[in-house]
Amino acid sequence: MDSNRNRDIAVGLFVLASLAAIGYLALQLGGARLGSDEDLTVFARFDEIGGLKVRAPVVIAGVRVGQVDQIVLADDYRAKVRMAVANDLELPIDSSASIVTSGVLGDRYISIQLGGEEQYLEDGEEIEFVESAVVLERLIGQLIHNTNIEDEED
pLDDT for the residue numbered 36: 52
pLDDT in tens, 70-91: 999 999 999 999 999 998 999 9
Question: What's the chain's length in residues?
Answer: 154
CA distance 154 to 152: 6
Give the end-to-end CA distance of the chain in Å, rounded to a whole number.
Answer: 92
Largest CA distance in the chain: 92
pLDDT (tens digit per residue) in 97-152: 999 988 766 789 999 999 999 999 999 999 999 988 877 777 788 888 876 544 44
Does the model's pTM come out above 0.85?
A: no
* pLDDT tens readout for residues 2-41: 778 888 898 899 999 999 989 888 877 765 555 455 789 9
Other CB atoms closer than 10 Å to residue 142's CB: what's the count?
A: 10
Backbone angles phi, psi at 70, to 5 degrees: -155, 145
